[in-house]
Amino acid sequence: MNQFDVLPVTAMCRRVFERGDHVLIGVSTGNSYFNQERLGALLVWAERHFSLIDVMYVDTHIDTMLVACGLTPDEARRRTKGMLKDVRRRLRRALERVAASEHPRFRVRPLSEYETLPGYQEVLRRAEPDLARSGLLSRAAEEQVHDLLMSQTPGPPGSASAAQWSAGLAYLRAELPFLLNTPGILDVPSSVACYHKSMPVVRELFQGLGSLDRDPRQGFLVVRPPAPAPSAGSQPAAPPLPGRNTVTLTAQYDEISSDYTDVERVFSTYRGLIEVPSLLHALGPVEGASVLDIGCGSGAYARLLRQQGAARVLGVDLSPGMIDTARRLEEADPLGVRYEVHDAADMPVLGAFDVAVAVAVLHYADSRETLARMLRRVRSNLADGGRFLAYVGNPRLPSGTAQMNGLVVNRPDDPRDGDPSPLTIPTTPPTTLPARYWSCETIEAALGETGFGPVVWEPMKGVPSYAGEPVNLLLSARAETVPA
Which residues are identified as catalytic?
A: 28
Amino acid symbol at 245: N
- Asked if residues 278 and 462 have their Cβ atoms less than 8 Å apart, the reply is yes
Rounded Cα distance, 241 and 157, in Å: 35
**What's the sign of the alpha-carbon dihedral 289, 470, 199, 227?**
positive
Taking residue 210's Cβ as centre, other Cβ atoms within 10 Å add up to 21
Burial of 385 (0-12, 13-18, 19+ CB in 10 A): exposed
Instruction: Please tell me the distance from the alpha carbon of residue 329 to that of residue 33, in angstroms, as a whole number.
Output: 22
- What distance in Å separates the CA atoms of residue 382 and residue 57, rounded to the nearest whole number? 54
The b-or-e profile of 247-272 (16+ CB within 10 A means b, else e) is: ebbbbbbbbbbeebebbebbbbbbbb
Environment class of 121 (CB within 10 Å of its CB; exposed 0-12, middle 13-18, buried 19+): middle
In sign, the C-alpha dihedral spanning 435, 439, 445, 451 is positive
Alpha carbon distance 322, 259 (integer Å): 10
Which residues lie below 8 Å from residue 324, measured CB to CB, with a gap of 6+?
257
Contact partners, residue 286, CB within 8 Å, separation at least 6: 305, 308, 309, 310, 355
Backbone angles phi, psi at 459, to 5 degrees: -65, 145
> What is the Cα–Cα distance from 164 to 116, expressed in whole angstroms?
25
SS3 113: helix
Closest by CA position to 197, among listed 32, 15, 402, 7: 7
Measured from the Cβ of residue 129, the count of other Cβ atoms closer than 10 Å reads 10
The rounded distance, in Å, linking the Cα atoms of 220 and 191 is: 8
DSSP 225-256: PPPPPPPTT--PPPPP-SS--HHHHHHHHHHH
Instruction: Yes or no: say if 259 and 429 are a contact pair by the CB < 8 Å rule.
Output: no
